[in-house]
Structure 1
């Protein structure tokens, strides 16, 4: 095996392996979130092959996906066709009943989602074409490759703005936008992928029609990056150690708690089953 060399003042020196560039670790918000939530679930999601069987669909996830698809479909239309009525019809066009108790419940929430999207389009300027819709961004930053799919990227003036749609139960605040590691990573990846300035992030909460925004500084982005790098180092070390023969049960311990009630891998995890009862697939819908 050849040993890498470098030239310093015309003299070649051999480099030890410690001097070789560190391998960049691919990081998505989803990976970071699962690692923080439960390391056994991380293993089952990203390491185990074949992947253990997952549970069925969740109604709140179905609803969120429909809203995202309807808004993407709306922006694919010419500006003069982006009306509240069209947006509501797109919800019906993309609708699925997956995870709902029955057709009656699904119909109730279909109408609710259509109302959210209708009102959002009525109260929002949707005439400008976004720079990106469901846009995948990926870029090396620090010791990681930050990547992910952004709901929407707007161009406002000379800068990009990261827009994330939310359909959960609770209204969001400035603290949610400021503290979102996902949005910070999207900023870092988007500014390098699209080669334009980007510091602002927005959470658009459709059920309440509110927008929570935050303007990042280089310092705040640096803090998010440092935390992402630390987590990436941890999970990559666990993965590499497992591949070298380490005990997966030690490297990827469970984190039993109320979240086990809606874990996709509950059927394959005795600790999760013992933590509490399973939730119905529609249990996380708004009342």
Structure 2
């Protein structure tokens, strides 16, 4: 029996806090089978090797993080940081890697040109967390700005397709980050932004306190279902029936499809560099703050 199950069995004991990141909650929502493989199975099943879009996204995020530590911040310095952070893994060949590195050098330089180098963010890759009921949420914000007396959550994107304002509005991670920042800093935090580095586009949503509350309730609802599944897995192990696969387009991008027959049957696996050559299907994508997602970043 799992520790959580033991605690639940003791009379008078409050329910233990369920710790989860936004990416963990979304993993359960997207596909309980992938969630089990990713978070519960031990020993953890082997994943496929890293794809090119993950290498690209990680390098860009690291460059944008390290830029704020430079003694002299110029847009051109960002290109050098891309070179230093570049990961030559998952690309079709050296030529494709060099081509995309040069593209990201130009994109990062242009993006940094839109920033005020003297305006220091309140946080860079800042870990934030909060507790709501029996749920403890924690995650990492790419950038936390202070503007006109309020705080703004900024998340970087490097996917092929720029995000929309609707993407910012519906994003569960962004809303949870805003709720966490508000609670930690005790300062109003309603604006969330998705900054698409390749295009320079910025998708924006201004939450209300009520809409943030709805997002927190959504997270708690997902967490309740995930907790029940976790407890069942602790008691039943591999016999648990609470982790059905949800075959679909995302299976082609899943790093754990080798361990899921239904996922393999859903369609061909995407190549290591597929996200560089085609638009991603709806629902595919993650930021570097959520590294265990699937699909283009």
* TM superposition score normalised by structure 1: 0.89
Which protein, 1 or 2, shows the higher relative CO under an 8 Å CA cutoff with sep ≥ 6? Answer: 2
Structure-2 residue corresponding to 1:3: none
Deviates more, 1:259-268 or 1:241-250: 241-250
What's the offset of the Cα at 1:133? 0.8
Match of residue 187, structure 2, among 185, 196, 199? 196
Hey, what's the Cα distance between the residues in 1 that align with 2:34 and 2:167?
Answer: 24
What SS is found at the alignment partner of 1:251?
coil
Structure-2 residue corresponding to 1:57: 50
Structure-2 residue corresponding to 1:37: 30
Structure-1 residue corresponding to 2:19: 26
**Residues 219-249 of structure 1: CA distance to partner in whole angstroms, max 9, x if unpaired?**
1001111111010000110110121226655
Q: Is 1:106 aligned with 2:61?
A: no
What SS is found at the alignment partner of 1:285?
helix
Structure-2 residue corresponding to 1:211: 202
Q: Is 1:136 aligned with 2:112?
A: no
Structure-1 residue corresponding to 2:217: 226
Q: Give yes or no for contact 2:141–2:153 (8 Å, CA) kept in 1.
A: yes
**Map 1:254-269 → 2, pairs under 5 A:** 254-269=245-260
Match of residue 85, structure 2, among 70, 85, 94? 94
Q: Is 1:284 aligned with 2:275?
A: yes
What stretches of structure 1 of length at least 5 have no aligned partner?
Answer: 1-16
**Residues 39-84 of structure 1: CA distance to partner in whole angstroms, max 9, x if unpaired?**
1100011110111010000100111111100011101123xx2111
What's the offset of the Cα at 1:286? 4.7
State how many pairs are aligned. Answer: 270
Q: Give yes or no for contact 1:166–1:206 (8 Å, CA) kept in 2.
A: yes
Structure-1 residue corresponding to 2:290: none
Q: Give yes or no for contact 1:85–1:118 (8 Å, CA) kept in 2.
A: yes
Q: Give yes or no for contact 1:146–1:188 (8 Å, CA) kept in 2.
A: no
Structure-2 residue corresponding to 1:10: none
**Residues 93-120 of structure 1: CA distance to partner in whole angstroms, max 9, x if unpaired?**
1111111011100000000111110000
Hey, what's the Cα distance between the residues in 1 that align with 2:68 and 2:198?
Answer: 20
| Larger Rg over CA atoms | 1
Higher strand share: 1
What SS is found at the alignment partner of 2:125?
strand
What SS is found at the alignment partner of 1:148?
strand
Structure-2 residue corresponding to 1:68: 61
Q: Is 1:173 aligned with 2:164?
A: yes
What SS is found at the alignment partner of 2:236?
coil
Q: Give yes or no for contact 2:232–2:240 (8 Å, CA) kept in 1.
A: no
Q: CA RMSD in A?
A: 1.7
* TM superposition score normalised by structure 2: 0.86
Residues 1:231 and 1:248: Cα distance change in structure 2 (over 3 Å): farther
